[in-house]
Homo-oligomer: A and B are copies of this chain.
Amino acid sequence: MEARLRDILKEHDLKVTPVRLQVLEVLATSEVALSHHDISNRLSDDSVDKVTLYRTLHAFAERQLIHKVPSDGPNGLYAFRLSHDAHAHFICDGCERVYCTPLPEAARPVAPTLTAGFQVTTQDVRLHGYCPDCHA
């Protein structure tokens, strides 16, 4: 497990440190997108400085190891980037957890023809609804 995490870091030209291994493990094993606060709580040794954690997240995002998830709330969410394929974010209106799900080819939106002069490069889909836990 840890060997695999080590490799991931190296492949992305990131120095291997205890903090980074821990943070990466937390993100890689979470099904939902996590906030700075969430991650901090899940670190076994919770003595990681908040600034270090922010900088670690920035470094990871810069190297495309994780990506920042656009959120409705005030604080940022981060999710491990499983693949570079198109994916959607599922936001549960019950528990407010954000799931990062792959988006099948057939479900992708067609690039709309906008007013002349607007050039679309990428797009992402946000789905609202209820996750299994909050199903009514």
Task: Give A contacts to B, CB under 8 Å.
Answer: 68, 70-72, 74, 76, 88, 90, 93, 99, 101, 103-104, 106-132, 135
Q: Name the B residues within 8 Å of A76 (CB-CB).
A: 74
Copies in the complex: 2
Report yes or no: A103 in contact with B112, Cβ–Cβ below 8 A. Answer: yes
* With known contacts A118-B90, A123-B128, A125-B123, A104–B113 Cβ distance under 8 A: yes
Q: Name the B residues within 8 Å of A129 (CB-CB).
A: 118-122
Report yes or no: B119 in contact with A135, Cβ–Cβ below 8 A. Answer: yes
Q: Name the B residues within 8 Å of A113 (CB-CB).
A: 104, 107
Given contacts A118-B131, A120-B129, 16 further A-B contacts (CB under 8 A): A70-B70, A74-B76, A90-B114, A90-B118, A93-B121, A107-B111, A109-B109, A114-B127, A118-B132, A119-B129, A119-B130, A120-B127, A121-B128, A121-B129, A122-B127, A123-B126
Report yes or no: A126 in contact with B124, Cβ–Cβ below 8 A. Answer: yes
User: What's the least CB distance linking A130 to chain B, in Å?
Assistant: 5
Contact of A117 among B70, B88, B135 (CB under 8 A): B135
Q: Name the B residues within 8 Å of A117 (CB-CB).
A: 131-132, 135
Q: Name the B residues within 8 Å of A121 (CB-CB).
A: 93, 128-130
